[in-house]
Structure 1
Amino acid sequence: MPSPLTHDDPQAFGPYRPIARLGSGGMGTVYLARTAGGRTVALKTMHARLASDPAFRTRFRLETDAVRVVGERFGAGVVDADPRAETPWFATEYVLGPPLDEAVELCGPLPEASVRALGAALCGALRQLHASDVVHRDLKPSNILITAYGPKVIDFGIARAAGDDHLTRVGVAVGTPAFMSPEQAGGQEHTTAGDVFALAGLLVFAATGRPPFGHGQAADLLYRVQYAEPDLSGVPDSLVPLLAQCLDKNPFRRPTTEWLASRLHDGAGEFADHLPGALLADIGRRASEVWTITPQRLPAPAEEAEIAVPTPAARISRRRLLCTVGGAALSAAGAGAGVWAWSQHAGSGPNPQPGPSNSLLPKKKLDSVWQIQVADPPDDTIPAQLHVVENLVTLVAGRGLGGIVAQTGHVQFASDQMESTWQVATDGKRLIRLVQKAGAENNAGKPGGFPLLLASVDLLTGKASDLFAEFTDFNGVLPENQLVCTADGVAYVAAGRGNFSDEGFLASQSWYLFAVDISSGKRLWTAPLPARRQGSIRLYFLSAAVVGRHLVTLQEANDGTVRAVVRDTRTGAVRWDRPLDGIKPDRVRQSMAVDAQQLYVGTTSLRALRLSDGGLAWDTQSGRPGAIFGPPLVKDDIVYAVQKERGLVCLTANGGMVMWEERGGQGAQADVTVPPVMGPNYMYNKRGSELWAIAWQSTHEPVRSFKTTGDRFIAHEKSGRVIALGGKFLAAFPLQ
């Protein structure tokens, strides 16, 4: 899906103005762009840091040439290019259709007629390439776009002239293991026969929804591709002999594309006649939506902006300036001023006095840009959660929700409405919370009398000002009601029915997960949750994220184990559910590492689970038995995590192969309880009482440190700050 431009994306490439990002990887970025006359194109560029390398420039030029060779009939036709520009680029037609993997996810395995038509058309595309002595080398479902007029082959980043080895280099991908030919997997020359092998793998995937050699770690896949027989179960009987011949280990026994095409399809009818109705509808939707996309550009971090927007002064009452027994305090101890304080006994008297456990702490000698004193959250079974919302960082401390300007540490608002940290969530732009109806406090309320309410929080005042949903069939008083996450205009809520209890869950209660459209307040679906053990105080959900049509959650079961559960965002149906052995619940109460293909889980070995079916894509246990990793971070198809006693490690998202490891000898002190925080040039990780910056873009060595009491860290990219929470202080450090 298109995403907004970043503040430093170029304004134009030749006559083309980028209006959105379509994707970004290790080699470059692809934009949706338009001309002044309204022509829409896909524009691919090379990362600036690679443009100075002649070998990468040569590869980029050859990719442009290969796209031209395949032509407009079978590929995205090149409309313009400037491979000699300071940032090389080329523009192609914008293809109106989903990749094959998304088409199969939407429709399920394609019918035989669709598979045959697809195969015959792709034979034509390969014949066009091979006639010019070019081999693709990376045919896979995501590189095949399905249009109403036929498939289009894209991504020629590793295509090359047959027999040409001089562009192969260490660290550059040479294919996708699940769809490689045996000779490519063994490091031998991948000829035109290798593309035929990969094409047969694509058709097996289209017919069954899985690759011919299954899923798994890269090393296992490479072995099976070379030595195991393909799994053709589920392939239509009439196609099995054809595809089996194409998947022969001996490249000299594989058929030509011309022979294969003649046996797949007779060429009758239009390509669209052979596609399922749901797929045609999706193609039509994409064709109309592309014209509704308008340019959006994320703002620069505040320190880079030419004009700083003044922040309204916090209006804090005298009552909030006082600390009381059992209350909480946030006091300015760095840049910024004022005191944030509120009491859980707000009405106990006009001038409550500070209690011995809540007197203001002395300023810590930290290296922070600013620091603020904070109290612990109201329930110590759930650690405080940090949220990034526009220019703020928010958290629940003591009995209230606070919003702090990340750039300066200025307290924007402080609430005394007794929020719970698990009942507040954000998508980065809106802050949403569960609200109790007036008079509901400590009431044994039942459904109907005290409904469940959802409201938006005003980012200037902290008040729940916009009530957008009310549900009378849930008990809004239950403390265990949970706002799981919000994304794409939808809030996901876990809520219960039955009587209130101050001793945890009741076995008599029934619990549900449901989705709410924030704009309309309409409930989209409701799904039951398993009963909770009597007296349990452990919430259902530990963390959650939405990726495409997947609601990805980590849930805690009654026996204390952690399960990864993925649901369909459209219906709430469980797509898959699997246990995560060896993981303790409290270790995964933080941001989830997930991308469009996989969920990444650390805290023991580092493993990747496919979002499509929950299968194990790879696990570091096979390459590094006994190695322990902290929670990971994934960015641009790269996974970053801290390995115990070694430090920061960088791995490919596709296969889990190590790209580089931290140098300098300080990795033995690295903390494996929190994920690393990424800045433009440095990755941040705690070691003892210091936050270290590691040069991930260059030397891979630690370069500087900051004193910190923090044990939880997040990046606030807009302000250029690392926000740290811990030791009763909230502090900010430079994010560089």
Structure 2
Amino acid sequence: MASVPLTAGDPVRVGRYRLLARLGQGGMGRVYLGRSPGGRAVAVKVVRETLLRDEGFRRRFVREVAAARRVTGFFTAAVVDADPEGNPAWLATEYVPGPSLQEAVTRHGVWREQAVRGLGAALAEALGAVHAAGLVHRDLKPSNVLLAPDGPRVIDFGISAAADDTALTEAGTVIGTPGFIPPEQLRHESSGPAGDVFALGAVLAYAAAGVGPFGGGASHAVNYRVVHEDPDLRSLPPLLADVVARCLAKDPAERPTVTWLLDELGHPAPADDDRHAAQGATAPDGGVATVGWMPGPVADSATRLRADVPTEPLPRADDGMPEPSTAAAPPRSRRRRLRTALAMATALAVTVAGTVLWRVAASEDDTGPVRPPNLEQLWSHTLAEGQRTTVTSDEMVYLQNEDRHEITALDVTDGTKRWGRKVEVAEIRQDSAYLRDTVGNGVQVTGLAGGLLYYGSGDHLYALDADSGAYRWRYMDDSFHASPVVVGDAAYAHMISFFYVLDTRTGKKLWDYGYGVNADGSNIAVTGDALLVHSEKKLIAVDTRTRKQKWTHQAASDAETGLVVADGKVCFGTQDGALYAVDAGSGDEVWRRTFEGELWDGRLGGGAGMPEVVDGTVYFENDGYVSAFDADTGALRWQRKQKADEVTSLTVVDDTVLTHDSDGYLSALDARSGNPVWRERLIMGDGEHLWLVGNTVYVERDSRVTAYRAAT
């Protein structure tokens, strides 16, 4: 769990604990690294003030904290102190210096069967301790499993029940993470210890496959699969798949107990080859090799984090740092294609006043003279309660208020409101429990294309004029709300196994096409005469004139990124770390880069992002690497390893490559050479979002969205 400096709005002490750094932020509140008077490191969670205004929540919180303090299992992060009736209310737990399971799988890859079994036994023991105290976790998921050098710890037990039951939660809303919520909870039935067993099975499937057993996509679609479809366990070893399938039974009564799971999964054997594990080598079966039962690279990360735990407060980012200009000048006119940027799950912190305070990374050890920042604040806009950002174009930032059925457009130059209105929502059929209880009639903006803003409500997809917000049309799509790709007057909307084409002027369906296989709808692209979509390793081209399959291309590994079509070629990255260029007309492979050599570890292919093609060069980020290739030949022009484990976003503006990474740095590289131009450290915290559109940086935090212009 990485720590970042406190900001001006953070306390310096909570109870008897001196706060040293911020660890993150979630639905309950902020989490800080603290030290007791005797020097013990603790994680201090300070509850949000809005929750405490609900007296029912406070009473439940007092009760749940009292119960949580009775949990003493080794694989739980024990509650060591609390003041649930204080103002603010808080609790302190054992500090776990290690990455979450989600971070570990994202950065280092899936786990071998032996490691998953060891993890499962430890988590079953943790749940046994939680249940013995009369608690139910209710939100077990990969991000709530922290991996210390001596084993995993389950966090946030005993509190989610209070949050789930608060009056601040709208009636019918289900708290949790889609894919890990048991079906009985989605049906609004009682959920007890068997619900935690379901979540445990989903967590083990995630560790073994890198994705939950019910896939990804829109929340309601995942929830629907949890209730109505079988889990996808094809990539799990047979014996492990059998255990996980038992945990994922639809009927809670058919799931095993944690005692049975301990007997079935316990006592993992030592790793076959600790020498390979210590080097982070790939195991013979393709998984990450292990030390003991924990994967070697994960154990190394946990050990490094334990060594880096601060003993004194990290320097505050506002200590002697200059503030950026607040001039509201519009971004310079630039050659860039219209792009829809969804707010990414990268956490960045901004000061409460909406001004970012930066520290220049002048050298490898972050020391050196402070100089004016390379970002200029353009504007800051306060979000109303329930309002959040959705999609962004070169002209406007769109906000939605799901429950109030409102959509608002802000001008990107100064943040002023261009339009805002209540929008039409679908009538929910009372004979459909799924629509009534799971989907609802809130609004969810899904995309922006061809001058239309798309949103879903109930079982319909709606289109608005993007410039004015005027209603255009709606289409009944059975609640699977697409983000259409528009070419001319045709909107191509993807479902799981087929796509349909709508007339953008009327919303009438023109035609549809079935692939015959499940395909990744987030990765479609449309050329002049073909729709392209990935189905695992296969790239499929459908001729939009003849409405027949045109060609297929088989990669060596499953697709990892979206598709970019430029200069007659389709570029995409795959899970094994390769970058492909395929002829868009014939499906022939033009070139492939597999990144073999000293600078590249092919096992790190799980973090690849969308390629970007500019002026005959393909720019590609994969984990911590940023590369540039000749678009015609695939010849490497340059490659640079960033200090962070993962680059989370990349955009090219004129002669500059802008990247953001998992360590919270925004970097500028020379597009011709890859040489660094500048690197700014951003304050990082959970629950805050950053995204790039050209050289404009948007940050959402503390009910504000702020725009900055990056120097290029």
Q: What's the TM-score, normalizing by structure 2? A: 0.48
**TM-score normalised by structure 1 residue count:** 0.46
Larger Rg over CA atoms: 1
Q: Greater relative contact order: 1 or 2 (C-alpha under 8 angstroms, separation 6 or more)?
A: 2
